[in-house]
Structure formats: C-alpha cells, structure tokens
Amino acid sequence: MTEGPADQPDQPQYVLRLYVTGSTARSARAIENMRRICEDHLEGRYDLEVVDIYQNPTATIEQQIIAAPTLVKLLPSPLRRIIGDLSNKEKVLAGLDIHLQLDKQLADEG
C-alpha cells in the first residue's frame, strides 16, 4: 500500500518502506504510529509503502531485513533503518533527520 504524493519542490520527498509481519498487534501499532508521524511532520511529502513479509518474503532479502517491524528510509539519503513499533516519536524523527531539516529551515529563515 502506498500513500501520499509530494507537490512541494522546496521540501525533500521521503520514500519510506515499512516491513511488518502480518496483522499482529505490533505491526498494527507500527503502521498507525508511522502514518501519524508522516501526517504530522511530512504532510504531502512522503510515499509510505507497507510490506507484509509473510506475503512478500523476497522483499526481506532485497533490503536485508532481519527483524520486523522495520522502517527503511530510502530517500532522502542516507538510507536508514529503524526497528520496532515506532512508538518513540523523537527517535523516529531523529532517524528520519526531520529535526535537522527543521533546524536548517529555521536557520535559513532567521
């Protein structure tokens, strides 16, 4: 499943892939947490694909996924992996370099 086109050229487009294990409670939490973070901080600038590793086991080999849930940030560079249910919002934002982007914007505006 893919969500969210980007129409803001001055902002980076985030390409994210979330690997989950079926419809477990932990997978559902990870999906909900990531959707909330994307809507709150990346509105209109993200493409989130959810991959069920039970339905697509070859995807784990391609991205070297060893645990689930795992979020992979493909773009913008550098590639990052975050493992867990993504409930620690501050760590997820830091892993996605969102704080750095906001700090840079504030410095450019000030």
7 or 83, greater pLDDT? 83
Residues 1, 50: contact at Cβ < 8 Å? yes
What CATH number should be reported for the domain whose range is 2-109? 3.40.30.10
DSSP 68-93: SSEEEEEESSSPEEEES----HHHHH
pLDDT at residue 98, as a whole number: 86
What is d(CA 105, CA 79) in angstroms, rounded to the nearest whole number? 21
Q: Name the region of 22 (left: φ>0; alpha: ψ -120 to 50; beta: rest).
A: left
Instruction: Report pLDDT digits (tens) over 54-69.
Output: 999 999 998 899 999 9
HSE-up (13 A, CA, CB side) for residue 47? 9
Q: Name the region of 86 (left: φ>0; alpha: ψ -120 to 50; beta: rest).
A: left
